[in-house]
Homo-oligomer: A and B are copies of this chain.
Amino acid sequence: MEIPTYDDVISAHARIAPHVHRTPILTSSFLDSLTGASLFFKCENFQKAGAFKARGASNAVFGLDEEKAAVGVATHSSGNHALSLSYAAGKRGIPVTVVMPKTAPEPKKAAVQGYGGRIIECEPSTSSREAVFAEVVAETGAEFVHPYNDPRVIAGQATCAKEIVEELGPLDAVIVPIGGGGMISGCCLTLSAIAPQTKIYAAEPKNANDAHRSLKAGHIIADDAPQTVADGLKVPLKELTWHFVSGHVEDILLSTEDEIVEAMRLIWQRMKIVVEPSSAVPLAAILKNKHNFAGKRVGVILTGGNVDLVKLPWMAA
């Protein structure tokens, strides 16, 4: 297992700079007064392809040598990594195939195709996804860019925390949604190197609490097809992300579906920005665990903004 280093993050940042946004950091006096903390929202919902995953995907794609690049890349993804890999491959002008669950939101499928990606559908479970994907790789010979269990991807995601520290100095805490663990691993990598005093919290849906149970148990626990509104967070940890999560994460805070939807709505209503449900899980956790954050300077990563605008979760009832 190759563990990325902070030198890899510095290289990644230079490599991806022409292809991704240095996203803004927003604040909200209303949410500060509601939580008692000073919250700094890193807006990866404004990122290219609508999510932080453009960072890792761009680092992987633009780091390939010419020969490998010509054959193309492939991945499986619940959505945003598929978009991001398609975006990065399109930018470099190389072929890309993505295996996506049938149930992925329509706008994500359309956006993959808009960037020139080829979609192969699978069932909405980890097992089906991995089986279908093995066939795709055997057939195309494409370079596999895993959505998170890949050192190139983690080094790319780690540039997000690097920008936060560059802009704000060391914070008291950072809180990040956890699914497969790519973004939080990137935060662990960067913060342990340049801001080791910052506490790193993960936020996870109670309905997809495999990372929480993994941290308690001391080994990876994977669920096959958890159900949560935070559809970016259904996938399990893998060795590489487990390495970072088990080594650096202070705690994994859980939220119910209702708490996530309410936090999402608060962000839309008060900050006037579009975030997907996964992005709202950290605010839900802060609202539920104010004692951990009150009086602190807290970085909150809003991981993405790719939402099906005709299916908003507070309208379900």
A contact set with B: CB distance below 8 Å: 24, 26, 45-46, 50, 107, 265, 268-269, 271-275, 305, 309-310, 312, 314-315
Contact = CB atoms under 8 A, between A and B. Distances in A.
Nearest to A47: B272
A53 to B, nearest CB: 15
Which of A46, A265, A275: most chain B CB closer than 10 A? A46
25 contacts: A24-B24, A26-B46, A45-B272, A46-B271, A46-B272, A50-B272, A107-B269, A265-B309, A268-B274, A268-B309, A269-B274, A269-B309, A272-B273, A272-B274, A272-B275, A272-B305, A273-B273, A273-B274, A274-B274, A309-B312, A309-B314, A310-B314, A310-B315, A312-B312, A315-B315
A283 B258 CA distance: 35
Contacts of A107: 269
Given A265-B309, A272-B305, 20 more contacts: A24-B24, A45-B272, A46-B271, A46-B272, A107-B269, A268-B274, A269-B274, A269-B309, A272-B273, A272-B274, A272-B275, A273-B273, A273-B274, A274-B274, A309-B312, A309-B314, A310-B314, A310-B315, A312-B312, A315-B315
- Total copies of the chain: 2
Contacts of A265: 309
A50 B273 CA distance: 12
A105 to B, nearest CB: 12
A311 B271 CA distance: 18
Which of A272, A309, A310: most chain B CB closer than 10 A? A272
A173 to B, nearest CB: 25
A64 to B, nearest CB: 24
A45 B310 CA distance: 21
A315 B46 CA distance: 24
A271 B307 CA distance: 12
Nearest to A273: B273
Which A-B residue pairs are the 3 nearest by beta carbons?
A272-B305, A272-B274, A45-B272
Which of A107, A274, A310: most chain B CB closer than 10 A? A274
A48 to B, nearest CB: 9
Nearest to A302: B272
Nearest to A111: B269
A31 to B, nearest CB: 14
Contacts of A272: 45-46, 50, 273-275, 305
A312 B275 CA distance: 16
Contacts of A269: 107, 274, 309
Contacts of A50: 272
Which of A275, A314, A315: most chain B CB closer than 10 A? A315
Nearest to A269: B309
A133 to B, nearest CB: 28
